[in-house]
A = this chain, B = another copy of it.
Amino acid sequence: MSKGRLEAFSDGVIAVIITIMVLELKVPHGADLAALDPLVPVFLTYVLSFVFLGIYWNNHHHLLHATGRVTGGVLWANLHLLFWLSLTPFVTGWMGENHFDSLPTALYGVVMLCAAIAYYILQTTIIRADGPHSTLAKAVGHDMKGKLSPVLYAAAIPLAFVHELLADALFVTVALIWLIPDRRIERRINST
């Protein structure tokens, strides 16, 4: 029951975040193709952020499914994750409006990095509460994806100042790692 409400609240917050992001796609005044032009980068960042939030919701769903006990620490670790996710609309809007300029792109990476760390803290907090022989501890295993993502985000931040496209390419890479079905990617990562 306690877990049910934690899931419901997280679902609510992620549902609102994913949806209010679309408000950054400001309705243009003209009715021709030229009016849509400045919206193209905003739309692309919207797609990227939608996919990231979808991945987080997906993982969060699996994480809590395998969770046994919900302690006070788990509640706060969860709120900490939601805090960083709640900044997504802001950094998405800033990056989109400035056509993937260096600083907004780097800040996007910072928020993504913090969210990834917050997810890792949440996972660790749950495993500590459930014990090392719990379902979750076994399911997570080596967690290559979970460890690779923050490394790629951290690399994207300085690279945004070399060329924005390098950072963007890393963001898309992280998204693809999570989107492509598990087995293949895991084999690929393990064989590298």
Contacts and interface: CB of A to CB of B under 8 A. Distances in A.
Contacts of A58: 72, 75-76, 79
A19 B22 contact: no
Interface string A87-112: 10110011001100111100000000
A-side interface size class: 35 or more
A49 to B, nearest CB: 11
Interface in A13-36: 13-20, 22-25, 27-29, 31-33
Interface of A: 1-2, 5, 7-9, 11-20, 22-25, 27-29, 31-33, 47, 50, 54, 57-58, 61, 65, 72, 75-76, 79, 82-83, 86-87, 89-90, 93-94, 97-98, 101-104, 179, 181-182
